Amino acid sequence: MSRIADQNTNQDSNQIQVRHLVKEYKRKKNKGNVRKALAGMFRPDYEVLRAVDNISFTIGRGEAVGYVGPNGSGKSTTIKMLCGILTPTEGGILVNGIVPQQERMKNNKKIGVVFGNRSLLWWDVPVIESYRLFQRLYEIPPNRFKENLDRFTEIMGIGPLLGIPERQLSLGQKMRCNIAAAFLHNPEIVYLDEPTIGLDSESKASIRECIRRMNEEEKTTFIVTSHDFQDIETLCRRIILINHGRVVVDDDMQKVKLDFNREKRIQFEVDSNPWYHKGMPSMEGVRITDEKPHSITLEYDVEKVSSIHIMQQVSKLCEIKDVAISGRDIEAIIRDIIRKDNHSI
């Protein structure tokens, strides 16, 4: 009893609780030859695939979390379990104090879900009709419905699309309509599974803007999976990185960047490259990644060598016309972490 009370008081900081989550799929084994395949028709061999392997995390109200990892790392499986449409093999999930698998309808009313490759709308009818249906199904009061409709029509720029059936919309238009649909009932949590897959930069921008505003203004909790790191970087303050079904990193985005961003890249535009075709004298912690007659690109470890030192060295031998220093972006960092993680197994 005391635990339940405890959970309620902590609901703001523990809106989503995931404890030792495991999901195993049984999959029929692929057969090497026809005879074995025939035998398998009657007595199939199964192999167990551990898609999610002991994942735990807690997400508080109003957080925006980027849930990232390579293909097949268990992202969508986790999202589906959080939504309540997939049952964990082991472990527990608590969303807003309820187990989504046990009280699916109750949970459905409080969440919004967007799948980048699936639509929530009715294919044959004008978009607005789908929205009106949502109004009824989610029991949205007319005033609030109108307010929300106006608001999202404006943010997503879908005013002219409302009268068109979904089947006649382009991918980007469809997605924008779907995002708006997910917000109409003021969900407390919105799950986005690859929301910007295959979209142009303008559609991506309006989707990001919408999510950012909802997160700031309504304190809506977001969990976003994406392979587009710009999505994650602009939207999420926290990042959960999974690989082979396990959490590799769960931390603040800025902190991840600082911790893992020891490598920087410096690019010089010069009058003539003194080392072109000759090779550069070795300098500790510096790697040459690209050289052309008039430009040099170097990568270096900030803990071993400073940017100023490199610049001084280069300026001794040629005239520097322009210089650009960049930290590696989160995508490169993640790639590195994953590579290291794969090695350690």
Residues that bind another protein (CB under 8 A): 25-26, 77, 80, 83, 85-87, 101, 104-105, 108-109, 111, 113, 115, 118-120, 122-126, 129-130, 132-133, 136-138, 165
Structure tokens at 101: 């698998």
- Comparing CB distances to another protein, the nearer of 177 and 310 is 177
How far apart are CB 320 and another protein at their closest, in Å?
56
Please state, in angstroms and rounded to a whole number, the distance separating the CA atoms of residues 283 and 252: 33
Q: Which CB atom, from 8 or from 102, has the smaller least distance to another protein?
A: 102
**Is the Cβ of residue 140 or residue 248 nearer to another protein in the bound state?**
140
How far, in Å, CA of 247 to CA of 227, rounded?
17
Q: Which is nearer to another protein, 49 or 302 (CB)?
A: 49
CB of 38 to another protein, least distance (A): 18
The DSSP secondary-structure symbol of 291 reads E
To another protein, the closest distance from the beta carbon of 262 in angstroms equals 40
Of 188, 186, 224, which Cα lies nearest the Cα of 204?
224
Of the candidates 191, 185, 200, the one whose C-alpha atom is nearest the C-alpha of residue 221 is: 191
Closest CA to 78 of 134, 19, 135: 19
Output 49 or 258, the one with its CB closest to another protein. Answer: 49
CB of 170 to another protein, least distance (A): 18
Cβ closest to another protein, residue 96 vs residue 130: 130
Pick 125 or 205: Cβ nearer another protein: 125
Least spacing, CB of residue 137 vs another protein, in Å: 5
Minimum CB–partner distance for residue 136 and another protein (Å): 4
Q: Are 62 and 215 in contact (CB under 8 A)?
A: yes
Distance, C-alpha 139 to centroid of its chain: 30
Q: Which residue has the tokens 């030192």?
A: 309
| Closest CB 105 distance from another protein, rounded Å | 6
CB-side neighbour CA atoms (13 Å) of 101: 13
- DSSP secondary structure string, 209-235? HHHHHHHHHS--EEEEE-S-HHHHHHH
Residue with Cβ nearer another protein (115 or 183): 115
C-alpha distances (whole Å) from 57 to each of 91, 111, 114, 246, 247 are 12, 19, 21, 11, 9
* Cβ at position 22, least distance to another protein in Å: 13
- Which residue in 97, 90, 98, 96 sits closest to 20, CA to CA? 90
**3-class SS of residue 100:** coil
The secondary structure of 310-338 as a DSSP string is HHHHHHHHS-EEEEEEEEPPHHHHHHHHH
Question: Using an 8 Å Cβ cutoff, are 187 and 138 in contact?
Answer: no
